Structure 1
Amino acid sequence: MLLNQKYEIFPSDVQKETLDTWLSYCRQTYNSALLDKQRKYKLSKESYSRSAMQTQLKRDKLAWTYLKDMPSQPLQEVFRRLDHAFIKFFRKEARYPKLKKYKDYNSMTFPQFGHKPNSHYCYAASFAINGDLQLSKLGNIPIHLHRPIDGTIKQLIIKRRGTRWYAIFRVERQVYPAPINRNLAVGIDVGLNKYAVLSDGSYHENPRFLRQTEKKLKRAQQRLSHLKRGSVNYKKQVTKIQKLHEKVSNQRRDTLHKLSFNLAKKYSVIAVEDLNIRQLVKNKRLSKSISDAGWGMFRNMLSYKCERNGGLLIKVNPHFTSQDCSNCGTRVKKSLSIRTHICKGCGTILDRDYNASLNILQRGLEQLDKMPVII
């Protein structure tokens, strides 16, 4: 399986400027290819293929020689990114690709990493002898390897986040599947009041990191509104706001990593609701709280950590998990404000979220029984 491992890098001021310039070149290439693709389809109803984009890039390098100042791999990878964006759009998994602004394009990919043994050829990215990250046409960049890289490195992504830079290694490692144990199965109902309620009766509180930082963000944004756009103080205040958002994001990610790790390690089968989060955030009253909770991120983390530990993540139909009685199956309709499930059919009285987690577990086990091969 493929996993991402993220490390912070510490480029010099000159290297930061160079990396920013490379990202701008990639962004401009992306926008140019998108416009060419739209123009060709409008004129001839033909698709603009990836090979045609790469051929055009060769011509562009002859016309604009500054494109030769950066490695060719990240520029070529731009076209794969654009193709992938259109594939997701046609599958109705994302919106139509748009022109990228400076804040929208923050990463570039080096699809080959390392060196060929017994060969003088070197890839655009590798490790130097002293352990620094070595990028072609840029030099060595100090990197904080806070944990060993577990597996074979397939590609490298350099990412800008505010004023900090990161190296993300896509690593391939062997996973040995473990026997599925039905006795170690759990259903999880995610919510806003309690973040995760488990079918074993335990639960985890919602930390609400964004809500806790709202007052600081409000004051910082009010101060920004009184400053002259483009001034030195304006840029400093923008950096402060970026750091506040980055801290919230780091807190959320760290909490979800720890929670998903513990769950994937403890349980063999985990059942969750297959929620359409894009549709849920259209609710104006709940959109901020849903975004702050990071349900999609949590589900993705559970997915790959279950696979890594030899477990199984099952996504079930979310319809009526809170309404149906987990004991007798009677549908008890109730509004979102009612937090207790009371079944008039069998007399069951449960917490609404706990009742939902039991239904999720039951549906997950039913799907497990229908799977063709169970080890």
Structure 2
Amino acid sequence: MRTAYQYKLRPTKQQAVEIDRWLSMLCAQYNYLLADRFNWYEQNRCPVNACPLVCHLPRLRDNPDYYSQKRTLPELKKTHPHYGEIYSQVLQDVVKRVKKTFDLFLGGDSNGKRSGRPRFKARDRYRTFTYPSMKETCIQGNLINLPMFGKVKVVLHRSTPAGFKIKTASITKKADGYYITLSLEDATVPTTKPDFNPDSITGIDVGLKEFLTTSVGETVAIPQHYRSSQKRLRVIQKRVSRRHIGSNRRKKAVKQLGRQHKKVADKRKDFHFKTANNLLKKYDVIAVEDLNVKGLARTRLAKSVLDAGWSSFLSILKNKAENAGLLVITVIASGTSQDCSGCNVKVPKKLHERWHDCPNCGCSLDRDHNGAINIKNRAVGHSVLKAHRVSEAIAGFGEKPTLYCTQSV
């Protein structure tokens, strides 16, 4: 099993300056490698439908792939000796990051979906560097030993779980300081807890009137963290807009605005984690809709949808369920609000109609509650739950069961 723990760093003033210097050099190297990729792309591509009959063919050069760009790093340290102060694996991770973003641009992901043209990073937009491998003894008390950087004080608000090995470490600069994210792995942890009960299931319907409604009628109020902070954000944003671009006073106001936005994000994240924990304490299986949140964020409800943070919550819920050995099943979202949970007849309703009344069977309940029941019903006969029941039946005959645990289906 793979998980991640994030801690706050307390570097000295000299260490903070050194982290900023590393980020500045790595940003320059990222932009240089990306420019090298773009030069090859522009010189070697030729659209078939726009190729002239007579044209000059430039001298073709090899594609700058991951390995060829990584071989340029020793020469970089000779021509620019200050790059020799950066750990070699951190520099190699920059090459890997360029490869990943350019491959998504040309070939797309596993589903064939291509990303946009990669952009060069401004200095303020490059905030993270990664150690691809760390020693098991890197944490000593309240200090963490970073190769070729030194020991940095870290706030260990919780200890790393026993048995897990530290695989990678990423240092990130945020509005309120520096953080380190440790990626932990333990292959011996089972994917499903031993007393997993596939019949302990509920469906949840997320919304804007209530943050979520369960299939038993329980509701969680929506906090609207951004809307409650708009007044303060408006004051700071005016302060930024009234100061000269490039001045120190404007930079100070921008930092203040970033800290305020991070407060809003932290409150929302804390709410999401607590809500997910409360659900996973009650149920072993949670059914959710496969929502197109990006599409909803382009409508008139954009501010409310983004303030609720549905995507972040569902991602946290799936990760927490996987770590706890539980299940989150994703079902098709089409028709969950329109279909009757009692007789399965479609009852058309507009968005402002918040009550479900079925003329066929007389079912009368809240619209979100009706949708949550439909979500649960669609997950009851899911193939993942059937696999768990089969594994339990096999275990009853004395054979070793095969358990399955997925984040989404």
Same fold, judged at TM 0.5 (above): yes
Q: Are positions 1:353 and 2:368 aligned together?
A: yes
Aligned equivalent of 1:175, options 174, 189, 201: 189
**Tell me, which stretches of 5 or more residues in structure 1 are unaligned?**
117-125
Distance 2:117 2:287 in 1: 32
Find the aligned partners of 2:65 and 2:212 in 1 and give their Cα distance. 45
Q: Give how far 1:36 is off.
A: 1.7
2:123 to 85, 94, 102: 102
Matched, 1:132 2:105: no
Q: Which amino acid aligns with 1:361?
A: K
Q: Secondary structure at 2:120's aligned position in 1? A: coil
Letter in 2 for 1:291: L
Describe the superposition over 1:116-138 as per-residue Cα deviations: whole angstroms up to 9, x where unpaired: 9xxxxxxxxx234x531222333
CA displacement at 1:8 relative to structure 2: 0.4
Q: Which residue of 1 aligns with 2:134?
A: 113
Counterpart among 209, 222, 228 of residue 238 in structure 2? 222
Distance, in Å, in 2 between the alignment partners of 1:175 and 1:215 is: 47
What is the one-letter code of the residue matched to 1:148?
Answer: S
* Cα distance in structure 1, aligned partners of 2:309 and 2:385: 30
CA contact (8 A) 1:303 1:313 kept: yes
Q: Which amino acid aligns with 1:326?
A: S
Give the equivalent residue in structure 1 for 2:52.
Answer: none
Cα separation, partners in 2 of 1:141 and 1:260, compared to 1, 3 Å = same
Between the aligned partners of 1:77 and 1:33, the Cα distance in structure 2 is 12
Equivalent residue number for residue 29 of structure 2: 29
Deviation, structure 1 residue 240: 1.4
Which AA in structure 2 matches 1:74?
Answer: V
SS in 2 for 1:194: coil
SS in 2 for 1:5: strand
Between the aligned residues of both structures, percent identity stands at: 33
Match 1:157 to one of 167, 170, 175: 170
Contact 1:175 1:310 in 2 (8 A): no
Structure 2 unmatched runs, 5+: 46-61, 392-409
Q: Deviations over 1:309-344 (max 9, x none)?
A: 111111111111111111111112222111111212
Q: Partner residue of 1:122?
A: none
Q: Which has the larger radius of gyration?
A: 2
Question: Which AA in structure 2 matches 1:355?
Answer: N
State the Cα RMSD in Å: 2.0
* Corresponding residue SS for 2:375: helix
Indicate if the aligned counterparts of 1:194 and 1:206 stay in contact, CA closer than 8 A.
Answer: yes
Measure the CA separation in 2 of the matches of 1:93 and 1:317.
Answer: 24
State the partner residue of 1:60: 76
- Match in the other structure for 2:3: 3
* Structure 1 residue 15: Cα displacement: 1.1
Residue type at the aligned position of 1:221: Q
Number of residue pairs aligned between Structure 1 and Structure 2: 364
**Shift of residue 42, structure 1, vs aligned partner:** 2.7
Q: Distance in 2 between matches of 1:96 and 1:354?
A: 43
Aligned residues of 2:198 and 2:385 also touching (Cα < 8 A):
no
Amino acid across the alignment from 1:195: F
CA displacement at 1:292 relative to structure 2: 1.4
SS in 2 for 1:16: helix
- 1:337 aligned residue: 352
State the distance in 1 between where 2:22 and 2:123 align: 12
Is 2:6 the partner of 1:14? no
In structure 1, the residue matched to 2:287 is 271
Q: Is residue 148 of structure 1 aligned with residue 162 of structure 2?
A: no
Where do 1:45-84 residues align within 5 Å? 45=45, 47-84=63-100
Contact residue 153 and residue 172 of structure 1 kept, 8 A: yes
Q: Once the 2 structures are TM-superposed, how far is the Cα of residue 268 of structure 1 from its aligned partner?
A: 0.9
The alpha carbon displacement at 1:194 in A equals 0.6
| Matched letter for residue 146 of structure 1 | H
Give the structure 2 partner of residue 123 of structure 1. none
1:175–1:308 Cα contact (<8 Å) kept: no
Tell me, yes or no, if structure 1 residue 313 matches structure 2 residue 328.
yes
Counterpart-to-counterpart distance in 2, 1:203 and 1:93: 38
Q: What displacement does 1:347 show?
A: 1.7
- After TM superposition, the structure 1 stretch with the greater mean CA deviation from structure 2, 360-369 or 332-341, is 360-369
Structure 1's 23 and 371: CA in aligned 2 closer, same or farther, altered over 3 A?
farther
Q: How far apart, CA to CA, are the structure 2 residues paired with 1:279 and 1:48? A: 36
Question: SS at the partner of 1:183?
Answer: coil
Deviation of 1:181 (Å):
2.0
